[in-house]
Amino acid sequence: MKKKKILLVDYNYTRAWKDIFLETTYTVLKKEGFDVTYLDVSSYALLNDWLHSQASDFDVVWFFTDLDEKGIVDFRYELKKKGVKVIGQSQGFYDNPYEEGSYKGYSFKYLLDSMDYLFVNTDYVKDEYSKIKSNVKYYTLGLPLYEHKKYNYNHSGGKEYDVIFGGRFVPEKGHFLILNLAIMLRKLGYSVMITAPGTNNFYKFIHMFDEYGINHRFQCFNDEYLEILRKSNFFVSFSFIDTLNISVLEAMNEGVKVILPNIRPFSDYCDKRLLYTPYNLEEILKKIKKYKDTPAKSFKHKNRDFYTFNAYSERLSKFIKKELK
C-alpha cells in the first residue's frame, strides 16, 4: 500500500518549544505510516512560490502557524479543491474575530473555511471558535511540553530576577501594562526582566527600561530564554485575548510561579492563588509580596498531564486514524 504524503509547513520558527512540537509530531506521523516532508521558510513570498509549485503533490498539508496572509488563505482553498486535506494550527485569538467585516482583507469565516481541520490548545478556544459558523472541524490537540527532557521543572537555581515578562512586546499582550507594573516593581526594589522573541515595540521604550533599571532582552530565543526563565521567580502575563500560550507553558515547565488573569483558559489550569483580577496591578503586587518565598512546587496547576508527550501522541494518533486514513 502506497504511503500517504504529508507536508508540514512552518514560517521561520525560533522557539525551543517548536523543536519539541515538530520532533513529537514527526515521530507520530512516521509511526502511523506517513511519508513526512518538513518545510521551514523565512518569507511569505518564498512560501507562496513553493506551495504553488509542489504542495498539491501531497495528500495532507499541515500549517504549523496561522499563516493568515490572504495569499496563503486563498491557496488553501486551491489545495482543498484538488482534494488535499488542509490542517491549520492556532495558538491564540485574532483581534475581534466575531465581528462581521474584514480581517486582513477577508472575513474571519473565510479564514476558517480554508481549512478542513483546525488544531487548538484548549477546549476554551474550541468553544469560542465554534460560535462562528464554519465547515472546519476543531480538535483540541495541545502541545507536548510538560515533563519533556528539555525543561527542568525540578530545578532549584538562583533567582536573579524577581519577575520576568515574556512573549511578544505588543499591545495585544498588554505591553503598556507590563511597562507600568515593571516601573512599580523597580520602585519597590524588585529586579525585573522583560524579554521578547522579536524587536516589536522594544526600541520605543529602551530609554525607559534604562531609566528605571529594567533588564531587557529582545531577539531572545530558545536556550537563552529558558536560561533566563530558570533565574526568575515569577512570570506575569497580561494577555487577555490569548490561549494558554507557549510563554506560560514554558514558565510552568521551568518551575517559575505564573501570575495570570482570572479568565479562561488560564483559570482552567492555573492554581487559583496565582490568578488576579484583570488589569489590577495592585493585586499582582500583593501576590508577588505574599508568595515571594513560597516554592513553586507548592502551587498545583490543573490538567498538566494534558500537555505530556504521551498524551499529545495519543491524541494525534486518534485524529490520524479517524480523519486521515
232: left (phi over 0), alpha (psi -120 to 50) or beta: beta
Domain 161-305 sits in CATH 3.40.50.2000: yes
Query: What is the location of CATH 3.40.50.2000 in the chain?
Result: 5-144+308-324, 161-305
Within a 10 A sphere around the Cβ of 1, how many other Cβ atoms? Answer: 4
Pick from 285, 209, 194: nearest CA to 247: 194
How far apart, in whole angstroms, are the C-alpha atoms of residue 53 and residue 307? 36
Sign of CA dihedral 89, 91, 94, 100: positive
Q: Is the peptide bond before 197 cis (omega within 30 degrees of 0)?
A: no
Residue 14: what pLDDT? Answer: 53
Residue 16: what pLDDT? Answer: 58
Q: Which CATH number fits domain 5-144+308-324: 2.40.30.10, 3.40.50.2000, 3.40.190.10, 3.30.420.40?
A: 3.40.50.2000
Pick from 71, 68, 6, 70: nearest CA to 39: 6
Based on its alpha-carbon atoms, the radius of gyration of the chain, rounded to whole angstroms, reads 20
Residue 125: what pLDDT? Answer: 81
Within a 10 A sphere around the Cβ of 255, how many other Cβ atoms? Answer: 20
Owner of C-alpha cell 508527550 = 309
How far apart, in whole angstroms, are the C-alpha atoms of residue 257 and residue 289? 13
Residue 53: what pLDDT? Answer: 80
Within 8 A by CB and 6+ apart from 1, the residues are none
**What residues pair up with 5 in beta bridges, in sequence order?**
35
Calculate helix-pair angle for 222-230, 16-31, nearest 10 degrees.
120
Within a 10 A sphere around the Cβ of 32, how many other Cβ atoms? Answer: 18
How far apart, in whole angstroms, are the C-alpha atoms of residue 317 and residue 5? 16
Residue 99: what pLDDT? Answer: 46
Please check whether residue 34 is in contact with residue 8, taking contact to mean a CB–CB distance below 8 angstroms.
Answer: no
Q: What does DSSP assign to residue 324?
A: I
Residue 152: what pLDDT? Answer: 61
Residue 291: what pLDDT? Answer: 95
How far apart, in whole angstroms, are the C-alpha atoms of residue 65 and residue 304? 23
Please check whether residue 186 is in contact with residue 216, taking contact to mean a CB–CB distance below 8 angstroms.
Answer: no
Q: What does DSSP assign to residue 268?
A: H
- Residues of the chain falling short of pLDDT 50: 95-102
Q: What is the largest CA-CA distance in the chain?
A: 68
Compute φ and ψ for 106, nearest 5 degrees.
-155, 170
C-alpha cell at 175: 505591553
